[in-house]
Amino acid sequence: MAENPLQHMTEDELWSRYKKSKEPIVRDFFIRQYSPLVKYVAGKVAASMPNTVEFEDLVASESSASSTRSRNSIRTRTSNSRLTP
């Protein structure tokens, strides 16, 4: 199996490379890297959201109308609520 050319780069180097080139291989690396964290956080967020917000919308890796609608809905609810200590 071929060696992954990205595995010897630091995360900062990879981010710099992606910002400059927008290479799909680097983007895919980050998607695979952060997917478990995104799913964990989305699960926590989804538990406190109304049934109209779907877990799949929170973890979608590609833009879609439904995930954009959910993000806008979450943003609106969050900006209208106050956190208490």
Asked whether residue 22 is domain-assigned, the answer is yes
Residue corresponding to tokens 């992954």: 4
- For 81, counting Cβ atoms within 10 Å of its Cβ (0-12 exposed, 13-18 middle, 19+ buried), the class is exposed
Asked whether residue 3 is domain-assigned, the answer is no
- pLDDT value, residue 84: 42
Asked whether residue 4 is domain-assigned, the answer is no
Domain count of the fold of the chain: 1
pLDDT in tens, 2-43: 677 788 889 999 999 999 999 999 999 998 889 999 899 988
- pLDDT value, residue 66: 39
Asked whether residue 17 is domain-assigned, the answer is yes
